[in-house]
Structure 1
Amino acid sequence: MKPCFFAVIFFLVFNVSAQTDAEIFKSIYSTSLTNGKSYHWLDYLSNQIGGRLSGSLNAEKAVAYTKEELELLGLDKVWLQPVMVPKWVRGGKEYAFIETASGLTSTVNICALGGSIATPIGGLKAQIVEVKSIEALKTLGKSAVSGKIVFFNGAMQADLIQTFEAYSGCSEQRYAGAMEAGKLGAVGVIVRSLNLRLDDFPHTGSMTYGDLPNSQRIPSAAISTNDAEKLSSMLALDKNIKLFFNQTCQQLQDVQSYNVIGEITGSQFPNEYIIVGGHLDSWDLGDGSHDDGAGTVQSMEVLRLLKESDIKPKRSIRVVLFMNEENGLRGATKYAEIAKQKGENHIFSLESDSGGFTPRGFDFQSDDAFMTKVEGWKSLFKPYLIHYFEKGYSGADVAPLKTDSNVCAGLRPDSQRYFDHHHSDNDLFEHVNKRELELGAATMASLIYLVDKYGI
């Protein structure tokens, strides 16, 4: 047999293999876009259940609902993994105003930060000191801060194209601002909402007091970007104006909740695990559609799309709906702890927690060898306009599973509008585009298919 004949045979076999993957991609995307369930699931989570703060009744309703829906998919296993979670409650609606003179006030939009204590009964009023960062606060020192409300007005950096980089650049003031201001004798903290646009929605989020004694713990709230601009302008004219705010939030005892897990058991390597997931909890403002209802339903849809496309995975594929990402990461920690106890080999973990917008690609925490493999898959994704394959951060819930020998990844949708909604009353189902959500689910399923077929 002539050498050229072998070359022809090799070319045909290689081409059929590539075409087979392309056909499977087409099946996955077609099923998601024409017969998908992710949008239907999200509609129920958002509009029938609503915000799902850890420890709340709505969070438990979401656990029951998603478990039932996974069972209807005919997976090999579906179970609940118990985890103790914090229970913080907001109480009544917060209220705040700026006082320029006795009896002259202007109301502003605020919301308590998650984990904050309440103001004294009847509220708190004091003069304001404005800073742009924790470093600037420390420079001022105790004499300038004691007895005042600290106003952190550090804005997200608008010229950063990667909006999560802009978020990370000023999120410390929200998380640790009250702790650092309390050390200097401040009586309260107001933080500019982490939002790139100017609007009237205050954005909540987690905060910490660290090991600060109770006597130094002070109430902390977010203020909308519009009102942060107004407050800053008024302070520039008169340093003696005062701010009043009232909130009734409280931290209760931990309660039991659950991670929700479903599995398709691998046909050849059942002890090698590939997981896909998002966090089932959300904040109590809005209905949590983008953060992270979208990631939750996309992850569920991945397993359904594999089954609908008649793909029988070689490795065990799990969907994990993590509880308590927003204010504790207890679900992710518990899942990783149990996996380690059982000696489970998690070779690949994919997270969706960046909203339900148009998918652009993935960030990978991996070695160079895997990135070379990913480069070879780009042509399969190109027809679906997926082009972003970079080393980067995967996600908070899969990060505890990372080892030197495995890979963690994060879906990267277009992020330009994400922080318009994040942690606020503006995170609503009506702001999720059905087609964008379904494209994201198909993109995730396609990557999971390739990792299962070719390994890492």
Structure 2
Amino acid sequence: MIKNLKISAVLFLFFAKVYPPMKKLILAFAFVPILSFSQNHQANLKKIYDTELSAGHTYDNLRYLCKVIGNRLSGSPGAAASVEWTRQLMESYDFDTVYLQPVMVPHWERGGKDVVKITNSAKHGVVELSALALGNTQGTGPKGLLAQVVEVKSIDQLKSLGAQVKGKIVFFNGPMDPTKIDAFEAYGGANAQRSSGAAEASKLGAVGAIVRSLSNRIDDIPHTGNQRYAADFPKIPALAISTQDAELLSQLLAEQTDLKLYLESHGEMKSEKLSYNVIGEIRGSEKPEEIIAVGGHLDSWDVGEGAHDDGAGCMQAIEVLRLYKALGWTPKRTIRAVMWMNEENGLRGGQEYAKVAKANGEKHIAAIESDSGGFLPIGFSSTGTDAQRGKLASWADLLRPYQLWNLQKPGGGADIGPLRDQGPILIGLLPDSQKYFIYHHTEADVFEVVDQRELELGAAAMAALVYLIEQEGI
């Protein structure tokens, strides 16, 4: 198509110079192919949206994943059940190929109720705080841990205290910056205290760590999440408390510096388990060797139902291929739906997928991930070459009628990141995620908080972009 357009342009310039009166006529006919090509795309994008919004399967599939299977931490029975169910689901849609890709994953279990108590408040006596142990944390066991607590707002502040934290519990109380319009930017600015706070505190001799939940709202819901220990240092217990209780603890510490906390948690890292990425594929008719991967991560934390994180993304990805089947379309390039396993506490699925793709000499031209919640889509983030991102931007007029206006933000997704050195453009579905961190990694992330229309609009948006890429390349 592009070659034909170039020939048309050369002919136009030649004849316009030789015979100027024909300039207007030639100009009109030269752009007919462009107009018809664009109109065909417009019609097909409308078919995608009409089909999804009137007869989509995304919402009902998410209901089953959340309400019947439930949470899906790597290595758990729920994760195993979700693998088998998504395999059967894709087979029921008659995708060309459906298969399991083996991957060894970490297996962490919470093991019991997590407890954080203030034991000696002069004002309140004993105060139990809303808490959840962080993922991969070594627990205290049933005897618990009692120690004085010291507050810091950042890892840099912790390091400035040095030996003063030895034998104490460090309370990381750095909030997400409320002035950041992008909620993910605010999350990124506060995340280090959760992911590496316990490790840094252990290096200075601390015996435990408490982290303010990563949320942009003050409430009584604790948020779990992954944390990583440092090699050669003690694995101290690490728990999160709700933002409301973080505010209370900080206030009480300002009035009474000798406060003590009692921690009890039962987390344990067990032997690794065999799990799977679940993959479904529709093979391309013209360039089957060029692959467009679209997916989400199938695992979730062991609280809530993993509805927004990331059941929504998984069901949207499967729906992209189902829509092709429903519309009777065969793509020019191969489309592959991937349910990655173990994004939350290891990223093993994404790493294994990229490793196998490289070993097999596969050619991914694009990888699209939905892992920012099932909220109203407003565009796509991307990481790639200037030419790749320029091609994405060239479709702005086609996507704008569906309120997909933001194509400039850099980004992609954790599971597709390992593919980067193989050359594809990495793309993330970009929803309006202001509410995402209300539910992220909590008991509140359940099916009922996902809006059906917003979820389906996200599935249609992903299918629309996949259509443009498989038709034109990128």
- TM-score computed with the length of structure 1 as normaliser: 0.97
Q: Which residue of 1 aligns with 2:433?
A: 415
Alignment partner of 1:340 is 2:358: yes
Q: Which residue of 2 aligns with 1:69?
A: 89
- Whichever residue aligns with residue 472 of structure 2, its letter is Y
1:209-241: CA deviation from partner (whole Å, max 9, x where unpaired): 12134xx22100000000000000000000011
Q: Which residue of 1 aligns with 2:458?
A: 440
Q: Is this contact kept in 2: 1:137–1:181, CA < 8 A? A: yes
Matching of residues 76-95 of structure 1 within 5 Å: 76-95=96-115
Q: Which residue of 2 aligns with 1:138?
A: 159
Distance in 2, matches of 1:76 and 1:138, equals 55
Alignment partner of 1:151 is 2:171: yes
Distance in 2, matches of 1:344 and 1:448, equals 18
Distance 1:231 1:416, change over 3 A: same
1:185-214: CA deviation from partner (whole Å, max 9, x where unpaired): 11110000000000111101111112134x
Task: Give the deviation of 1:105 after TM superposition.
Answer: 0.6
Distance in 1, matches of 2:167 and 2:230, equals 21
Distance in 2, matches of 1:194 and 1:331, equals 25
- Whichever residue aligns with residue 187 of structure 1, its letter is V
Q: What secondary structure, in the 3-state scheme, does the structure 1 residue paired with 2:407 have? A: strand
Task: Give the deviation of 1:15 after TM superposition.
Answer: 2.0
- Whichever residue aligns with residue 151 of structure 1, its letter is F
Q: Is this contact kept in 2: 1:306–1:312, CA < 8 A? A: yes
- TM-score computed with the length of structure 2 as normaliser: 0.93
Q: Which residue of 2 aligns with 1:109?
A: 130
The alignment of Structure 1 onto Structure 2 pairs a total of residues equal to 453
Distance in 2, matches of 1:367 and 1:313, equals 24
Distance in 2, matches of 1:329 and 1:44, equals 25
Q: Which residue of 2 aligns with 1:431?
A: 449
Q: Is this contact kept in 2: 1:366–1:391, CA < 8 A? A: no
1:330 pairs, out of 323, 348, 370, with 348
1:220 pairs, out of 228, 238, 242, with 238
Q: Which residue of 1 aligns with 2:10?
A: none
Distance in 1, matches of 2:232 and 2:59, equals 44
Structure 1 unaligned segments of length 5 or more: list them. none
- Whichever residue aligns with residue 153 of structure 2, its letter is K
Distance in 2, matches of 1:231 and 1:437, equals 38
Task: Give the deviation of 1:309 after TM superposition.
Answer: 2.5
1:84-122: CA deviation from partner (whole Å, max 9, x where unpaired): 000000011212211235992111100000010111432
Distance in 2, matches of 1:291 and 1:273, equals 25
Task: Give the deviation of 1:404 after TM superposition.
Answer: 6.8
* Larger Cα-atom Rg: 2
Q: Which residue of 2 aligns with 1:125?
A: 146
Distance in 2, matches of 1:298 and 1:105, equals 47
Distance in 2, matches of 1:402 and 1:211, equals 28
Distance in 2, matches of 1:320 and 1:6, equals 47
Distance in 2, matches of 1:38 and 1:10, equals 42
Q: Is this contact kept in 1: 2:364–2:422, CA < 8 A? A: no
Task: Give the deviation of 1:14 after TM superposition.
Answer: 2.3
Task: Give the deviation of 1:431 after TM superposition.
Answer: 0.6
Distance in 1, matches of 2:349 and 2:174, equals 31
Q: What secondary structure, in the 3-state scheme, does the structure 1 residue paired with 2:421 have? A: coil
Distance in 2, matches of 1:165 and 1:101, equals 36
Matching of residues 32-431 of structure 1 within 5 Å: 32-101=52-121, 104-142=125-163, 144-213=164-233, 216-403=234-421, 405-431=423-449
Distance in 1, matches of 2:406 and 2:456, equals 18
Task: Give the deviation of 1:8 after TM superposition.
Answer: 3.0
Q: Is this contact kept in 1: 2:383–2:389, CA < 8 A? A: no
Distance in 2, matches of 1:184 and 1:307, equals 58
RMSD of aligned Cα (Å): 1.4
Distance in 1, matches of 2:456 and 2:141, equals 47
Q: What secondary structure, in the 3-state scheme, does the structure 1 residue paired with 2:170 have? A: strand
Structure 2 unaligned segments of length 5 or more: list them. 1-14, 16-21
Please, which moves more after superposition, 148-157 or 115-124?
115-124
Task: Give the deviation of 1:406 after TM superposition.
Answer: 2.4
Distance in 1, matches of 2:50 and 2:27, equals 34
Q: Is this contact kept in 2: 1:24–1:309, CA < 8 A? A: no
Distance in 2, matches of 1:341 and 1:293, equals 29
State, as a whole percentage, how many aligned pairs show the same letter: 49
Please, which moves more after superposition, 384-393 or 62-71?
384-393
Q: What secondary structure, in the 3-state scheme, does the structure 2 residue paired with 1:261 have? A: strand
Distance in 2, matches of 1:371 and 1:248, equals 47
- Whichever residue aligns with residue 57 of structure 1, its letter is P
